[in-house]
């Protein structure tokens, strides 16, 4: 007799060993505090006779849960935990599908550890997977490719209510038009920007309960005039529909080129930009083909940060260490630049040759990859380990200096100083509160900072009371 109801379990896989290996300081509490939007999309594509539950290992460590079918989403650095979970279910005759970035890049490897590997964006194949499940005919590999975002799937957000996500997740685009040698986005998501209709985004925004929303797009602003026009349309429609939220997003440095776009973004509620600065050294920028940053690097980014702060926008900047041009002295300089700059917050990580990127291919050709016992060594591709031979000096000295600054820079004192300076630079309690919220979930010391928590609570109270303008 055919079952009337089924149970689908969707797991956002996090291998806690990548954030605490017991040997060194890794400045992360969680990998992300954002809703795993892809799992919400899978839930929306699943027939109504299925009960859908998610487990987000950023909140809950996985414990075996009864299910008829299990879907896992994993990055490369967490893939070994995905394999362990998959094995447990398969041993109990429960089929498992694994999707996400790693499955897209290494379908043959992944297919050896599950029933079905999903290559690409699951919107294209999930209905077929469910049908194949009914017929007991699941394929080893499903080639999904890129989804047609002009006809987007609206994610089921009720499945996220299990956890206290302070920041909701949105998505306007997929892909990235740049060619930075270390970045994996163009490899698994495409070089072009693909857009969802603005009307769909507005409809979703009206239904979101959280005040803080992050656009997880890898580059919301893009690089061309046409890209900018699409983003401007989004800002204008948010304003026209009177949506009062605090937005966070990822953009490239060229957002600062057009003051009118910055003003419009701020009016729409965009209070924090995460920007890949990477390095203040022009030679290093050129070595990774990040041409968009060259002019700003020449001016040490000072004017860029000043321009954004003037419009009450906070900047979280990503910095990387270990470029082929880097020496130990360069790492000292980078850390000093961060400490002295007007940046609101920052990330400071090892250069990581992500799989199949031009950087990884180059280092393989030069026989410089030292963490290459796959799949075991994928765990080291977590931005906190040196996985290759450096070009200048030796690995021991480079690891030592980067780890020194991982500890020195990632303290409650440093981030409090940065965030209270942010309050002075922007003159906005709203902007500073957003910068704190964006960062606190990833850093234990920030979460426990009473002064910064008081600042956020003050803003929340004033906002809810209507005493502060959004």
113-124 per-position pLDDT tens digit: 999 999 999 999
Per-residue confidence (pLDDT) for residue 449, from 0 to 100: 80
Which of 41-50, 218-227, 362-371, 442-451 bottoms out in mean pLDDT, i.e. has the lowest? Answer: 442-451
336: enclosing H helix or E strand: helix 328-340
Using the predicted structure, report yes or no on whether residue 26 has a pLDDT greater than 70.
Answer: no
Using the predicted structure, report yes or no on whether residue 310 has a pLDDT greater than 80.
Answer: yes
Torsion of CA 238, 244, 249, 255, to 10 degrees: 60
Q: Which residues have a Cβ under 8 Å from the Cβ of 212 and sit 6 or more positions away?
A: 166, 167, 168, 245, 246, 248, 434, 437, 438
Between 30 and 467, the higher pLDDT residue: 467
Q: What is the mean pLDDT of residues 238-252?
A: 96
* Residue 440 binned pLDDT confidence (cut-offs 50, 70, 90): confident
Superfamily of domain 6-145 in the CATH hierarchy: Response regulator (3.40.50.2300)
Q: In the chain, what are the domain boundaries?
A: 6-145, 166-464
Percent of the chain with pLDDT strictly greater than 70: 95
321, 348 contact by CB (below 8 A): yes
Per-residue confidence (pLDDT) for residue 301, from 0 to 100: 83
Q: Name the nearest CA neighbour of 424 among 327, 294, 306.
A: 306
Mean pLDDT of all residues in the chain?
Answer: 92
Percent of the chain with pLDDT strictly greater than 90: 77
Using the predicted structure, report yes or no on whether residue 23 has a pLDDT greater than 70.
Answer: no
Are 6-145 and 166-464 equal in CATH topology? no
Its CATH class, for the domain covering 166-464, is alpha beta
Read off the pLDDT of residues 86-111 as tens digits, 9 standing for 90 and up.
999 999 999 999 999 999 999 999 99
* Residue 245 binned pLDDT confidence (cut-offs 50, 70, 90): very high
**H helix intervals, 241-293:** 259-268, 282-287
Q: Which regions of 245-364 does DSSP assign to beta strands (E)?
A: 246-251, 270-278, 314-321, 345-350
Which of 2-16, 123-137, 312-326 bottoms out in mean pLDDT, i.e. has the lowest? Answer: 2-16
């Amino acid at each position: 007799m055919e079952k009337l109801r089924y149970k689908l379990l969707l797991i956002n896989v996090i291998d806690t060993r990548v954030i605490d290996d017991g040997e060194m300081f890794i400045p992360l509490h969680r990998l992300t505090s954002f809703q795993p939007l892809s799992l919400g999309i899978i839930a929306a594509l699943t027939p109504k006779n299925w009960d859908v539950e998610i487990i987000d290992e950023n909140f809950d460590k996985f414990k075996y849960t009864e299910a008829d079918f299990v879907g896992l989403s994993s990055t490369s650095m967490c893939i070994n935990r995905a394999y362990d979970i998959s094995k447990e279910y398969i041993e109990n005759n429960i089929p498992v599908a694994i999707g996400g970035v790693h499955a897209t890049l290494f379908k043959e490897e992944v297919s050896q550890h599950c029933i079905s590997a999903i290559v690409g964006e699951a919107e294209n194949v999930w209905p077929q997977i469910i049908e194949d499940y009914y017929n007991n005919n699941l394929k080893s590999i499903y080639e999904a490719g890129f989804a047609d975002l002009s006809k987007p799937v609206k994610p089921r957000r009720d499945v996220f209510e299990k956890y206290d996500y302070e920041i909701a997740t949105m998505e306007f685009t997929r892909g990235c038009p740049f060619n930075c040698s270390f970045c994996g986005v163009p490899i698994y998501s495409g070089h072009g920007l693909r857009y969802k209709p603005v009307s769909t985004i507005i409809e979703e925004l009206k239904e979101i309960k959280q005040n803080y929303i992050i656009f997880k797009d890898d580059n919301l602003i893009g690089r061309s005039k046409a890209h900018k026009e699409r983003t401007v349309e989004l800002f204008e429609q948010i304003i026209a529909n009177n949506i009062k939220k605090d937005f966070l997003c990822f953009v490239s440095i060229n957002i600062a080129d057009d003051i009118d776009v910055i003003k419009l973004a701020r009016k729409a509620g965009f209070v924090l930009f995460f920007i890949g600065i990477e390095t203040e050294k022009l030679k290093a920028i050129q070595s990774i083909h990040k041409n968009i940053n060259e002019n700003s690097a020449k001016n040490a980014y000072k004017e860029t940060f000043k321009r954004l702060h003037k419009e009450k926008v906070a900047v979280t900047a990503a910095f990387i260490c270990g470029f082929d041009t880097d020496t130990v002295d360069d790492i000292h300089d980078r850390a000093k630049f961060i400490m002295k700059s007007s940046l609101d917050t920052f990330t400071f990580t090892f250069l990581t040759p992500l799989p199949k990127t031009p950087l990884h291919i180059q280092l393989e050709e030069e026989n410089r990859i030292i963490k290459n016992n796959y799949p075991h060594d994928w765990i080291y591709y977590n931005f906190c380990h040196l996985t290759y031979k450096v070009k200048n000096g030796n690995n021991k000295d480079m690891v030592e200096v980067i780890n020194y600054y991982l500890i020195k820079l990632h303290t409650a004192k440093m981030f409090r100083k940065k965030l209270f300076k942010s309050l002075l630079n922007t003159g906005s309690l709203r902007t500073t509160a957003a910068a704190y919220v964006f960062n606190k979930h990833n850093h234990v010391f920030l979460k426990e900072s009473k002064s910064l928590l008081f600042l956020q609570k003050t803003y929340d109270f004033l906002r809810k009371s209507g005493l502060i303008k959004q």
